[in-house]
Amino acid sequence: MKKKIIKPTIYGLDDYGLSLKKLVSFKDRTVKLRAHIAYINRKPLFPFTPEIRKKKLNEAEKRLFNKLKDIWPSKDYTVIGSKKKPGGISGHLRATDIRKFVNKNFLQDIWIEEIERMRKRKIRKGKLWFAVKAHFAIQIEGQIKGFQKVEERIVIIRAVDCKDAKKRLIKDFKKYNDPYLNKYGEMVRWHFEKVVDIYNMNADIIDPKGTEVFYKFIRRRMKPAYEWHPLKEIEKQKRCV
């Protein structure tokens, strides 16, 4: 059975309304292209120590980079990443040279960034889901001491970008300033203070199986209960076999 060739994904053609065949037909026209080496499966490296994993991974990435460098049609290019840890190449080449890259399984993706004598089409931005975290102070008439409750609220909204999401919600948030009376006859209002953070969910639709709405990193002091020693677990499994 013939092994299936995993081809790199090509991005940027839609920006110009072109197919790959049409772009290649431009022959000597200059194209600015960015190519990234393929992602290397890390799982086979798990049984090794971190130092050996890093060494093997760097060696594998360097091999892929050298393959990319060998097919690049000129020595005039920019290394993506660093010389010690290269991730790809960016540079200018002829449209016809793109054929050298499209079937190479050592590439992850190819980005068409510029095409000589062509402009990118103006594409209207579609709306995505954004999660906006905001603080509301529960203000009680005349309160000058004690503790004040502050609500940390996360609201999701469809918007073009983070700026649009913030603008849309602040308008509604300010409506919460309307006061009401509590059971003691005091005036109370939920005063919008600030937008704390905005998270682009990178989703056009919300998946009923689960969609990440927000995340936050915290730091905590290490304890034995938090420790993880995978190499010990691997050795234990070997002894049990």
Query: How many structural domains is the chain composed of?
Result: 2
- Could you give the percent of the chain with pLDDT greater than 70? 98
Structural domain contains residue 37? yes
Mean per-residue pLDDT for 217-236? 90
pLDDT tens string 79-102? 999 988 999 999 999 999 999 999
Domain boundary among 60, 89, 115: 115
Structural domain contains residue 181? yes
Domain boundary among 69, 88, 115: 115
CB 201 within 8 A of CB 120: no
pLDDT at 2: 52
Question: How far from 213 is each of 126, 130, 156, 203, CA to CA, in Å?
Answer: 19, 8, 8, 10
SS3 assignment, position 108: strand
Largest Cα–Cα distance in the chain? 81
CB 200 within 8 A of CB 162: yes
Structural domain contains residue 239? no
pLDDT tens string 154-192? 999 999 999 999 999 998 898 888 999 999 999 999 999
Domain boundary among 115, 150, 173: 115
CB 177 within 8 A of CB 187: no
